[in-house]
Amino acid sequence: MTTTLAPPVGFQVDNQPLVAEGRFWRISRERYHKMIRAGLFDEDDDYELIHGYLLKKMAKNRAHIWVVRLLMAYFTKLLIDNESWFTTREDPIGLLESEPEPDVLIVRGKMTDFWNLPEPEDIGIAIEVSDSTLATDRSVKKPLYAAEGIEQYWIVDVNGRQIEVYTDPVREDYARKVVYGEDEAIEIVLDGVNFGRISLKSILPPL
C-alpha cells in the first residue's frame, strides 16, 4: 500500500485536486477500522473512505438536511411492512478500497441481517443529496458505485431541483441515465417489483 498523500490522477472536485485543501489521507480499510476502534475519531469527525483515501465530508446545510429527512420518512413508510428491504441513513457500504456513506441507502434484507457492512450486491438504491457536492457525486461517487455494481444510483440535485437516476452499471459508468424534473415522479423498482412512486416536489425544500 502506498503512503503517498496525493490523490489518484483526475481525482478532483470542481477541477481542483482535493489534496490542495488538505482533505486527503491514504489508508487501507483495515487501518481505517483500527483507527475507529482506537477512538481516533470522535462523533464530531465526519470522514468517509474513498479509493483508499480518507475524505472529510462537507458540512450539511438546511436544504440537505430537509431532503434527507423527507427521503428517509418516505422510504421508511414505504418499506415498513416489507422484510425484503430496509432504509438507512449515512451508513457505510463495504467496498474493495472504500467505505462510502450515501445519504440514503435502500438495503436488501432485514436490519438484523447485517452485523457486517452491506456490500454492493445488498444495495437496491444508493442516494446522494447534492447541494454543494454535485461535482463529487457525479465524478467520484458515480464511477465508484458503477464499478462496484451497485444497481441504482440517484443524485438529488437540490439547486437544479431535479433527480438524476442511474441504472445498469457497466465498468465505471451507468448505461442508463434519466433526469426527472420537479413536477415529475419516480417509480421505485427493486428487484423488478414496483413499490410505488415518489414525487420530486414532495421532498425538495421550499423556494
Task: Write the pLDDT tens digit of every residue in 75-124.
Answer: 999 998 888 999 999 999 999 889 999 999 999 999 999 999 999 999 99
Mean pLDDT calculated for residue range 6-21: 42
Domain 62-202: give its CATH architecture. Alpha-Beta Complex (3.90)
Is the pTM higher than 0.85? no
Least confident of 23-37, 100-114, 161-175, 193-207: 23-37
What CA–CA distance (Å, rounded) separates 57 from 101? 10
Instruction: Give the strand pairing for 123-130 and 162-170.
Output: unpaired
Report whether pLDDT(161) > 80.
yes
What pLDDT, on a 0 to 100 scale, did the predictor assign at position 42? 64
Q: Where are the domains of the chain?
A: 12-56, 62-202
Q: Which three cell numbers stand for residue 6?
A: 496525493
What pLDDT, on a 0 to 100 scale, did the predictor assign at position 26? 72
Task: Write the pLDDT tens digit of every residue in 16-30.
Answer: 444 434 455 677 777
Residue whose C-alpha cell reads 490542495 in the numeric block: 20
Amino acid at 89: R
Q: Which three cell numbers stand for residue 189?
A: 423498482
